[in-house]
Amino acid sequence: MEPAHFQAALDGNLSEFPFCNINNINPDMSDIFNKVSPSGNTLLHVAASRGHVEIIELMVRNFPFLIFKKNYKGDTALHLAVRAGKLSTVKILVDCANQIPNIDEISLLKMKNNGGNTALHEALLVLVESKESVDTLVAVSRYLVTEDPEVSYHQNNASKSPLCLAVESDNKDILEYILKALPHYDGLVDQCLEGKSPVHVAIEQRKLDALKIMKEQNEVLLLLRDEKENTPLHCAASIGYLEGVHYLLEMSNNWALERNKEGLYPLHLACENGDVKVTDELLRKWPDPTELIDNNGRNILHVAAKNGREEVVRFLLKEDGIGKLMNEMDKDGNTPFHLAASHHHSMVVASMLWDKRLNPDLVNYQGLTAYVICLSNMPRKVLGQRTNINDGNLNASGIADHKNSAQVNLKRSKEFQKMMTLSILFMYHEFFKRWCIRHHHPISSTKRSRIKNKPPPRKQDLNNTINNLFVVAALIVGAAFAGALQIPMDGGKHDDDHSSPSMLMEVQPEGSASDASFGTGGEAPRAVDRRRWRSGNGLIWIVDLCRSRQNRRPAKKGKMLAS
């Protein structure tokens, strides 16, 4: 393409084409109009992007097939005209395409560029990006919808239809216009709608007004499911959208009992997300939530524990009838406690051990307890080797520190969570049960016999493990210092009727432990157990308890630690 011709099309200057007039083009000059710019644009593309009507009419009248020619991005001249908001140009191009014989009269409107966008997609994308209503773009969108309403159902490469983009644009007028223009006969939506459901998009972006418009104009849309067979209520529950959950349940309570492809109910997804308010709302929709089981045989407590949702776990354990789920097994024989331990969710493990209804010694179908699973997931060097707290190569996450390494969030560190979970289970199984026997706490005869017959841990293994726990305790305190002044949600008080005297943090040791317990006074105060446990003092206390017990044992060769 000659630069002069490109500039003439850009400026709309017909005088630069001496071989043309308003009524005709010299046929011998057709090669000029078929040439393209470096980006693949024809002169029609260039003129259409600027809205020069005279040149456009001249070219489409003499060379109509230029209308269907694409540049290197897959854009037709119509795509560029729409993007520029040139309504007159859009009408000329569409009208001309409709008059071409032996051509699908609306095929131009369905042509997609490399991004999978039709002309209607482009109009709405610009509207979304503009963050405000642009009258010319709204007018262009209305015209394109009128010419072919079903294009509103076609998806682009991002799996979004123009209907979804209308939801994202926050433009109520264009959304209502599209919904009114679409035919509503049965089955059409299922047959024609591609990609994401516009209802799911509205929920994901928390656009309640868009939900209400779709309910008024085409309620069938609210029955659509995504590729995982999630209903709109599943979607709202999974992101903690309480207002959307309320609205959908007002329409039908039965949606709370719909399952997706994995057999999950909306309540499962609310527990997985960790939203207590949404969980509470959905929990009221069925008299016995223990019946809500997914394809893996997992109940709502399984899901919350597996995903480390401590607040949801604590909430569920306070609800009537939910406690019996603590010892229920899934298809692999795993209880919620197994899943919490195997995924190293330390605070969930601690919260469940607090509950007297828990049986922490249950084995799954592989014969493993939660403690054994946690042990098997730990590197041997953590269990059997001494760790030096003064080692300069340790950072807050317990990982070797390098100059260029990014700071690892302590609370999210996998190694930290593993050590914290193991610390809790280690103290419970290796010390606390023996303490219960010595102090005549209620314990079954079978369990009492098994504990007495089990040899205590070797001194060297105990020393190494305690040293490692000191490292974790120090790291926890350092990370928790910034949040030490924050008031916990429960104010440090525990009114749970199911609180168990068997929880390790509630143990009162004989005598007084070392002052290294950072203000615990050598004991584990009941009123603030959970707050101190969160800040790391609980872990320091149990380690200090171990150390004090170890120091009191008789120094006789071969004699095991007193239990």
pLDDT tens for each residue of 403-416: 444 444 544 467 77
- Here the tokens at position 308 are 């480390």
Q: Choose the weakest-confidence range: 97-111, 280-294, 306-320.
A: 97-111
- Here the tokens at position 206 are 């928390």
Please, are residues 113 and 119 in contact by the beta-carbon 8 Å criterion?
no
**pLDDT score at 187:** 56
**pLDDT score at 261:** 94
Residue 391 lies in a domain: yes
**Domains of the chain: total:** 1
Which DSSP letter does residue 488 get? P
Please, are residues 330 and 298 in contact by the beta-carbon 8 Å criterion?
yes
First to last CA, the chain: 92
Residue 247 lies in a domain: no
Please, are residues 43 and 76 in contact by the beta-carbon 8 Å criterion?
no
The count of C-alpha atoms lying within 13 angstroms of the C-alpha of 167, restricted to the half-sphere facing its C-beta, is 27
Residue 403 lies in a domain: yes
Q: Enumerate residues 6+ apart whose C-beta is below 8 A from 15.
A: 8
Residue 395 lies in a domain: yes
Relative orientation angle of helices 414-427 and 537-552, to the nearest 10 degrees: 50
SS3 428: helix
pLDDT for 504 beyond 50: no
Q: Domain of 522?
A: 381-552
Cα separation, 80 vs 77, whole angstroms: 5
Length of the chain: 563
**pLDDT score at 440:** 46
Please, are residues 166 and 198 in contact by the beta-carbon 8 Å criterion?
yes
pLDDT band of 193, cuts 50, 70, 90: confident
Residue 262 lies in a domain: no
471 class by beta-carbon count within 10 Å (0-12 exposed, 13-18 middle, 19+ buried): buried
Residue 411 lies in a domain: yes
Which range scores top for mean pLDDT: 1-15, 152-166, 466-480? 152-166
Which range scores top for mean pLDDT: 108-122, 383-397, 445-459? 108-122
Residue bearing tokens 């592989």: 366
Residue 470 lies in a domain: yes
Q: Choose the weakest-confidence range: 231-240, 306-315, 526-535, 546-555.
A: 526-535
Give percent helix, percent strand, percent coil of the chain, each to the nearest 5: 55, 0, 40
474 class by beta-carbon count within 10 Å (0-12 exposed, 13-18 middle, 19+ buried): middle
Centroid of chain to Cα 29: 59
**pLDDT score at 246:** 96
Tell me, yes or no, if the pTM score tops 0.75: no
Please, are residues 67 and 44 in contact by the beta-carbon 8 Å criterion?
yes
Residue 292 lies in a domain: no
